[in-house]
Amino acid sequence: MKALLQRVTEASVSLEGDVLSAIGPGLVVLVCTEKEDSAADADFFARKIANMRLFADADGKTNLSLLDVGGEALVISQFTLAAVWRKGNRPGFSAAAAPDMAEKHYEYFCEQLAGEGVPVKTGKFRSHMAVSLVNDGPATIWMDSNES
């Protein structure tokens, strides 16, 4: 499983010009399921994302979590995070999970993150969306379940 977290002051996702979801301060979470991913990966990512200290406290130190600040998460499926790009000029996506498995895993991850107490908004799986966001910091974190 891979995820890219972006701390934002606001974000939205649109489909064909219509806003599907929008959040205020919080995180945009671009998430990718790979073939070997399990529910345990999604569980771990949900706990970690809810509790990761990415937000400033009164002293300006990043000591507060998404839960601490009452932030929201805009979770968007993005299979292109599984890109294999070193050879040639066209990235390959063979490491990404098949769409049916990926959709189930994505929905499960969203449920787990919400279960951690985070208000979760989503895009539409398997759709060409427009994502708008205002990066805060910017603060961007890369997560990969294959890394130790």
Active site amino acids: 78-80
DSSP letter at 89 equals S
* CA–CA–CA angle 142, 146, 148 (5° rounding): 80
Q: Confirm if 32 and 103 have CB atoms less than 8 A apart.
A: no
DSSP letter at 90 equals S
Task: Please spell the DSSP secondary structure of 93-139, one letter per residue.
Answer: -TTBPPHHHHHHHHHHHHHHHHHTT--EEE--TTS--EEEEEEEEEE
Buried residues in 5-19 as b, exposed as e (16+ CB within 10 A): bbbbebbbbbeeeee
